Amino acid sequence: MSSDIFETLSQLTETTIDNYRKIGEANVKLGQKLLEEQADLVEALYAVTKERADKTAKSKDYQAASVAQFELAQEASQIVLDSCKSCGEYVAEAGKVYSQILESGVKAANANFAAKPAAKAAKSA
């Protein structure tokens, strides 16, 4: 009886540690992707801002300067929107990994608890 309890606790501990490792790996991958996306975002915003600032500085009248500023706002908004979409995709991917980890943990627990009564019935017979 007590050996069954210790065996169950041992399996539970192994499964838990394995799931924590998988979650940690998923978090590291997600963090890397988000940091890369952030760096790309800053780089793209810097490039478009520099380009539009140069165009604004070379403008001969207010209308051309206003157009350059409007174009900057449009391009920057599109860059940020694209970045947000990418980040959403990364988080969705991580969510799938988390769901798979949860499902495997539930299956392992169900298999473990289903096996115990069958093993006891076999010993009794």
Mean model confidence pLDDT for the chain: 87
| Distances, alpha carbon 106 to alpha carbons 22, 29, 109, 110, 116, in Å | 15, 24, 5, 6, 16
Residues 90, 15 contacting (CB under 8 angstroms): no
> pLDDT digit string (tens) for 69-89?
999 999 999 999 999 999 999
> pLDDT digit string (tens) for 43-66?
999 999 999 889 888 888 999 889
- Binned at pLDDT 50, 70 and 90, residue 36 comes out as very high
- Which residue type, as a one-letter code, is found at position 44? A
For the chain, the domain total comes to 1
For residue 94, give its domain range. 2-124
